[in-house]
């Protein structure tokens, strides 16, 4: 079994949110010993229908365990949000502990569901990281097919591609409407295709709106959905003022490179080294890896980017409280020099005491002024370990 980096509470009830296929149920199976839990899987249609129609049946089903108070797992809890009032009651009055999984909190929040008023911690689970995969990790394979756990069950590239196409079609395009997150599917389908093609790029809501025959406000709402369902992250343009930051165009990164390639219609084709697509996917991989591993540290952080013009930017700015900001430039090149560090060397001086990294496919460690150029794996380790 692959050891997941997420550190779940041993004593406090919790939610664990993540896209389908990231391994939430598998994680809990390994977290709890057999016989120590009571499981309610709401992907079981019959059970889900019962508890949606008669929520108090949860109390009846748990009554025999009142003295034992085992952990109670409810998988895909967003399918029956009315259960959360009862969960709250059981935690407060009966000292039950719950592990609640779901694809996102969006539907729960929109329905004004009880999110347990701080009585349950909240965790997010993502596709597998480099450190979780260890020797199973191969960069080019990860760029081409992503790191959803299911991918590693397939030996052949054709099967991996077919899985990703099915995932994109049945989950991203169908289940989102089934969960009533999007009621009008055709423009959302078109939006997903365009968002995949623009992965890693600066968002233009008005241009996308024209492409999908919609309006900018709807497009912005679609990006909100992708973020709320953990299907991607939006990087705002950096500004010391959060208010001004929010007025500038953001970048967007889909949560998995394999899913991004499937949505863009590229997953059946070879990934060409040194190509534009390779560079985009390498950037997306690094930013997602940073986001996942920083999230698993359970410390507050904020990611943004800075662009002065097309040829002068910093790919990622990491802010963590009162610690010095970390500036990161990402290049897929196999050999880097000072030209690749131009953004950091030009703009880095505006960030007092900042740590500056250039990470790439170059196997050699180099230094350009204040910029430390490291191989991507080593660079990621250094950045995540920074204080």
Selection from 30-34, 36-40, 137-141 with the highest mean pLDDT = 137-141
Q: What is the pLDDT of residue 67?
A: 80
- 14-124: CATH topology is Rossmann fold (3.40.50)
Contact call for residues 342 and 336 (beta carbons, < 8 A): no
pLDDT, tens digit, 9 for 90 and up, residues 156-188: 999 999 999 999 988 766 666 665 566 666 788
Mean pLDDT value of segment 38-66: 93
Given the structure tokens 């080593």, which residue do they identify?
378
| 328: β partners | 316, 357
Half-sphere CA count of 10, side-chain side, radius 13 A:
1
CA distances (Å), origin 285, targets 63, 216, 256, 298, 306 = 47, 28, 8, 20, 19
Q: What is the pLDDT of residue 187?
A: 83
155 Rama sector, left if φ>0, alpha if ψ -120 to 50, beta otherwise: alpha
Q: How confident is the model at residue 3 (pLDDT cuts 50, 70, 90)?
A: confident
Mean pLDDT of the chain: 89
CATH classification (class only), 299-385: alpha beta
pLDDT, tens digit, 9 for 90 and up, residues 239-258: 765 455 455 789 999 999 99
Question: What residue segments make up the domains of the chain, in order of their start?
Answer: 14-124, 130-231+256-271, 299-385
Q: How confident is the model at residue 14 (pLDDT cuts 50, 70, 90)?
A: very high
Residue 109 above 80 pLDDT? no
**pTM of the complete model:** 0.92
Residue ranges of alpha helices (H) inside 5-138 are 24-31, 45-53, 57-62, 83-94, 106-110, 130-133
Burial class (CB in 10 A: 0-12, 13-18, 19+), 280: buried
| 135: β partners | none
Handedness of CA 71, 74, 78, 79 (dihedral sign): negative
Q: What is the pLDDT of residue 112?
A: 43
Q: What is the pLDDT of residue 175?
A: 63
Q: How confident is the model at residue 201 (pLDDT cuts 50, 70, 90)?
A: very high
Contact call for residues 149 and 123 (beta carbons, < 8 A): no
């Amino acid at each position: 079994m692959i050891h997941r980096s997420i550190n779940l509470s041993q004593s406090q009830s919790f939610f664990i949110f993540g896209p389908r296929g990231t391994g939430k149920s598998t994680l809990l199976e390994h977290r709890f010993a057999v016989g120590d839990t009571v499981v309610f899987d709401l992907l079981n249609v019959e059970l889900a229908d019962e508890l949606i129609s008669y929520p108090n049946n949860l109390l009846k089903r748990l009554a025999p365990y009142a003295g034992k108070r085992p952990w109670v797992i409810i998988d895909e809890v967003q399918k029956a949000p009315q259960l959360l009032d009862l969960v709250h009651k059981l935690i407060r009055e009966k000292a039950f502990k719950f592990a609640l999984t779901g694809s996102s909190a969006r539907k729960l929040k929109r329905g004004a569901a009880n999110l347990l008023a701080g009585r349950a911690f909240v965790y997010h689970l993502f596709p597998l990281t480099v450190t979780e995969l260890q020797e199973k990790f191969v960069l080019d394979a990860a760029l081409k097919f992503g790191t959803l756990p299911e991918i590693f069950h397939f030996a052949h590239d054709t099967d991996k591609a077919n899985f990703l196409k099915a995932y994109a079609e049945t989950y991203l395009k169908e289940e989102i409407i089934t969960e009533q997150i999007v009621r009008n599917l055709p423009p959302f389908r078109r939006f997903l295709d365009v968002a995949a093609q623009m992965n890693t790029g600066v968002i233009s809501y008005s241009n996308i709106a024209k492409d999908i025959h919609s309006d900018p406000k709807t497009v912005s709402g679609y990006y909100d959905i992708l973020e709320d369902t953990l299907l991607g992250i939006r990087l705002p343009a950096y500004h010391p003022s959060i208010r001004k930051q929010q007025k500038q165009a953001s970048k967007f990164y889909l949560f998995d490179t394999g899913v991004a390639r499937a949505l863009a219609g590229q997953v059946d084709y070879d990934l060409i080294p040194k190509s534009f697509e390779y560079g985009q996917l390498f950037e997306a991989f690094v930013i997602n890896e940073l986001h996942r591993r920083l999230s698993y540290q359970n410390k507050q952080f904020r990611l943004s980017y800075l662009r002065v013009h097309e040829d002068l930017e910093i790919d990622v700015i990491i802010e963590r409280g009162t610690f010095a900001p970390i500036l990161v430039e990402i290049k897929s090149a196999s050999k880097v020099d000072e030209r690749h560090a131009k953004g950091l060397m030009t703009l880095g001086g505006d960030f007092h005491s900042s740590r500056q990294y250039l990470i790439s496919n170059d196997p050699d460690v180099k230094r350009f002024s204040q910029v430390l150029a490291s191989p991507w794996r080593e660079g990621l380790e250094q950045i995540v370990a920074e204080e």
